[in-house]
Structure 1
Amino acid sequence: MSVTDQDRPADRTGGARRVPIPPKKKPARRPLVPAFRRAAGRGWPVALALAICLSALAVDGWADRRSEGSPAANRALVDKARTAEVVADVSAKVARIFTYTHADPAATERAAGEALTGRATGQYRRLFGLVKRNAPVMRLALTTKVAKAGLIELTRDGTAVLLVVLDQTATRDGRPTGAPVAAQLIVTARDDHGWRISDLRAA
């Protein structure tokens, strides 16, 4: 008998007793709005810049819900004209819905109403409500630009999935509050009489 066998506790049948390994616990997902409020307490420039990432994390990933198919079903690989159209249209809408000025919040609301659908609408409204109530006090604005965007998937039924890289700059009374903040998103959009964003998540 080896030293290892001697040191191992035995069960009633004389065999080595196995110690059960507890299952790994999945980390709990933090609620979206409370996390945003905590960020807001640290300063609105930071909170505004984080809004895009927080809204994305609140929505389930597109990869868990998309239907499986062969690479040939992905029109992004073969339809260059359609790909360019989707990237340009969705990029412009993402930039508009995450660009905000305290002097004209209605412009952002209109852009979101035109661009969003499904889950993305509800999550965005909750976030924008916090921004709308608090940013005017600080006289803040957030400018979002799409630095780069690429089409990951384009299906025959009119669903597009894009990777979008953003640059965001917060200003207070027209003066920058810090360096630009970068963010990456996975954006899902549907062709519903024009491309509308239905899903957002952090990349």
Structure 2
Amino acid sequence: MSITEAPPEKRVPRRKEARPFRERLRMGGLGVPVALVLAICLLALGATSWADRRNEGSPATNRVLLDQAATAKVVADVSSAVTRILTYTHTDPATTQRAADQLLTGKAKDQYRRLFGEVVRYAPIQKLALTTRVVKAGAIKLTGDTAVVLVFLDQDTTRAGKKSGSTATAQLIVTARDQGGWRISDLAAA
């Protein structure tokens, strides 16, 4: 290399300019119309999902006031079930147990076992009989295959054939599921 010659220029890689989003879409082959359709679909999906979540708790989904026949049926079925599972006699515990097996499901089975475990243990010793009558019942909620019913009941207890104390009253909130007939899935004191 001679003194008169200039040193070779260093090549600096040229930086690409940032292009706007629309231009990149066109270059990628999607085009603005396709991107717009995708955006609209995503917004529609989001709006539908949001609307579904809002309607789940909506009073409009509660059929209690809209479907009188279904409401009357669930109240009658739940009232009958409560009477059958909470009426007990030490001379025939199998009847109550069969009713519980037939009319209870899910969490209610465990609740019932705990509740009536004590009764079954002491009933033969005390010659106990428990008679339950539903005084009033009303559906609070009826949606899909689930119903919530408020039940007011009276219970009379006899020991050795003699009335023991006064009539006891109780209120229950009963959740039932339609499984080819209304079955109690939860019992709670009101």
TM-score (norm 1): 0.65
Q: Where does 1:129-144 land on structure 2 (aligned, <5 Å)? A: 129-144=117-132
Aligned length: 136
What corresponds to 2:43 in structure 1? Answer: none
For 1:127 and 1:200, locate their aligned partners in 2 and report how far apart those are by CA, in whole Å.
Answer: 11
| Conserved? CA contact 2:90–2:127, under 8 Å | yes
- The 3-state SS of whatever aligns with 2:172 is strand
Give the fraction of aligned pairs with identical amino acids, expressed as a percent: 65
1:68 is displaced (CA, Å) by 4.7
What corresponds to 1:100 in structure 2? Answer: 88
Q: Where does 1:27-176 land on structure 2 (aligned, <5 Å)? A: 68-155=56-143, 157-176=144-163
- The 3-state SS of whatever aligns with 2:137 is strand
Q: Is residue 2:159 matched to residue 1:179?
A: no
CA offset digits 1:18-52 (Å, max 9, x no partner): xxxxxxxxxxxxxxxxxxxxxxxxxxxxxxxxxxx
1:109 is displaced (CA, Å) by 0.3
CA offset digits 1:144-192 (Å, max 9, x no partner): 000000000000x210001000000000122111110000011000001
Name structure 1 gaps, 5 residues minimum.
1-66
- Residue 185 of structure 1 aligns with an amino acid whose one-letter code is L
RMSD over aligned CA atoms reads 1.2
- Residue 111 of structure 1 aligns with an amino acid whose one-letter code is A
What corresponds to 1:193 in structure 2? Answer: 180
Name structure 2 gaps, 5 residues minimum.
1-54
| Conserved? CA contact 2:173–2:187, under 8 Å | yes
- The 3-state SS of whatever aligns with 1:78 is coil
1:130 is displaced (CA, Å) by 2.0
CA offset digits 1:98-156 (Å, max 9, x no partner): 1000000001100000110011101211222221121110101000000000000000x
For 2:184 and 2:60, locate their aligned partners in 1 and report how far apart those are by CA, in whole Å.
Answer: 24
- The 3-state SS of whatever aligns with 1:76 is coil
What corresponds to 2:31 in structure 1? Answer: none
1:69 is displaced (CA, Å) by 1.5
- The 3-state SS of whatever aligns with 1:83 is helix
TM-score (norm 2): 0.69
For 2:172 and 2:117, locate their aligned partners in 1 and report how far apart those are by CA, in whole Å.
Answer: 21
- Residue 70 of structure 1 aligns with an amino acid whose one-letter code is S
Return 160-169 or 170-179, whichever deviates more. 170-179
| Conserved? CA contact 2:111–2:187, under 8 Å | no
For 2:104 and 2:70, locate their aligned partners in 1 and report how far apart those are by CA, in whole Å.
Answer: 20
